[in-house]
Amino acid sequence: MPMTMSRARVARRIATAAAFGGGGVGLLGVATVGVLLTEVRLARRTVGGSSDIPPCADGRYGAAFGHRTDRPPLRLGFLGDSTAAGQGVHRASQTPGALLASGLAALSELPVDFRNVALPGAQSDDLARQVALILADDTETPDVCVIMIGANDVTHRMPPAQSVRHLSEAVRALGAAGCEVVVGTCPDLGTIEPVYQPLRWVARRLSRQLAAAQTIGVIESGGRTVSLGDLLGPEFEAHPRELFGPDNYHPSAEGYATAAMALLPTLCASLGLWPEEERPEPARGEGILPVEQAAAEAASEGGTEVTASRAPWALLKHRRRRQLPTEEPTDRSSVTG
């Protein structure tokens, strides 16, 4: 509990600095940064990275449902970095966006038009450009957008308050256009193999602090968050060979499925489609908490949702997951023009 409260205070300071335009205070001393940079250079030689272009998953999912209803398709937009783009897998159906589009189609029993503008290597300062792309045609505004961002902000040492400010502005812009917004917060970078101490400890600390601060910014800007600790978190740490891809950095198909299963309930709930009540179940560790406490607790447990309640409170939930269908995109002209 003391660690959670400490993280909550740091997250609140970062979010406050973001709101008032500050760059954010450094969370590490100069000596620690020197050690960190040395460890990063050593880790990069082994971890590597992927320059492959992610498969394009844009298109229509659940097209068969279109023959059963005269309701228009749902529109799903995706923004963020390489994990949002699906880097590391080779089939469109294995990307997180395709998995979520298929799941949303199955649960809504409606076709889903999916468009992804995420950019591998992107940091949060690229979100304004991505928002402009996704909203360029006001007749095709998404019903809901998913943002997955933050890992590159940590590895490139973007000031956390600056990172949160860019994300909050993106959430507000999408909300003003009529989109629901779900943000997968910064994953736990302390589980990338092989990364050694002290980099592992520093990466975990910084990524969790950013995830908590992102949650505060997103909730106060009208969005919902899901902790992606599971994306590079406990399940990855326990099963790295199954859940990491060939470059030991980006998720494998199984890893992306794990993340998508964590996001799907919140994605559907944002549209009123998830068959669970919004009130908390205390027996499942859910509750109404001060927003910074909810943010800190979510950062420590992957798959945890945080949704705004009456300010300054937030709802912390652990929604039950469902197996995801897989589907290749069809009718790409409907969303790519």
- Listed in sequence order, the residues at least 6 apart from 127 whose beta carbon sits closer than 8 Å to its beta carbon are 79, 80, 147, 149, 166, 167, 169, 170
Give mean pLDDT, residues 182-190: 87
Q: What is the mean pLDDT of the chain?
A: 80
Read off the pLDDT of each residue in 143-166 and give the average, rounded to a whole number. Answer: 91
Given a cut of 70, is residue 143 above it in pLDDT?
yes
Strands 180-184 and 144-148, by their bridges, are parallel
Could you tell me the pLDDT band of residue 191, with boundaries at 50, 70 and 90?
Answer: low
Higher-confidence residue: 230 or 103? 103
| Residue 99 banded pLDDT, cuts 50, 70, 90 | very high
Looking at residue 283, the DSSP 8-state letter turns out to be G
Confidence band, pLDDT 50/70/90 cuts, at residue 203: confident
User: How many Å is the Cα radius of gyration of the chain?
Assistant: 19
Mean pLDDT of 44-69: 76
Strand order in the sheet with 144-148: 59-61, 112-116, 74-80, 144-148, 180-184, 224-226, 305-308, 313-317, 287-290
Q: What is the pLDDT of residue 48?
A: 43
Q: Which residues pair with 134 in a beta bridge?
A: none
How is residue 166 written in tokens? 């860019």
Section 255-281 average pLDDT: 87
Higher-confidence position of 138 and 173 = 173
The pLDDT of 63-69, averaged and rounded, is: 86
Q: What is the pTM of this model?
A: 0.85
